[in-house]
Amino acid sequence: MKTLLHLNSSPRGNYSVSRKLSSEVVAAWKATNPEGKVIERDLAKSHLTFVNLDWIMGAFTPPENHSEAHKKALAVSDELVAELLASDVIVIGTPMYNFAVPAALKAWIDHIVRFGKTFSYKPSGVEGHAGGRKVIVTVASGGVYAGTPLEAYDHEIPYLRHIPGCIGISEVTFIQAGGTSGVAQGKISEAEFLLPFPEKARHAIQ
């Protein structure tokens, strides 16, 4: 059975454009995979822990030598890595915060980019262990960055393109929705703004 992992990081609920866009991608995937399974993970509500000393010590210590503190620190990471590795497709809905990813999404990344689980160090460099999967990211931002003089300010897209590669995932597709400030300011209706995206979602899952 094909499995899709659906992540959302915006705290804006029904007001979130990135959530609406990621839901379009999931709907398109389900239309072509009616028997498929969807794992939902709302990062804005999960209140993920951050990497701490016990996490680091545990991640670089053989499991048979883990203390109870190590096991406790890594429990969330174990769960998130298992979800990732159980999935064929990962769909991430995220806003842009200060030209980069929200803290909730960064916390998830720090948990799943894990030595010995999703990557290893080799003489030739980093070797990822999560290859064969596809990542689709929907990004909503108040400003328009792609193809404009402001593109250099966008540190989110390059980062989210690089990170999957570290764990072996080379197929990363972005659906960018720049200019959501126009919706907030009443310059364009949300329905009109979202009009092009269902087709982009269908194209992304092909």
- Spatial neighbors of 182 by CB under 8 A, at least 6 apart, are 188, 193
Render each residue's pLDDT in the chain as its tens digit; 206 residues: 899 999 999 999 999 999 999 999 999 999 999 999 999 999 999 999 999 999 999 999 999 999 999 999 999 999 999 999 999 999 999 999 999 999 999 999 999 999 999 999 998 888 999 999 999 999 999 999 999 999 999 999 999 999 999 999 999 999 999 999 999 899 999 999 999 999 999 999 98
- Mode of pairing for the β-strands spanning 3-8 and 37-42: parallel
Domains of the chain: 3-204 (3.40.50.360)
Which residues fall within 8 angstroms of residue 123, CB to CB, at 6 or more apart?
A: none
Q: Give 47's strand partners.
A: none
Let me know if 97 is exposed, middle or buried by CB neighbors in 10 A (0-12, 13-18, 19+): middle
**Model pTM score:** 0.95
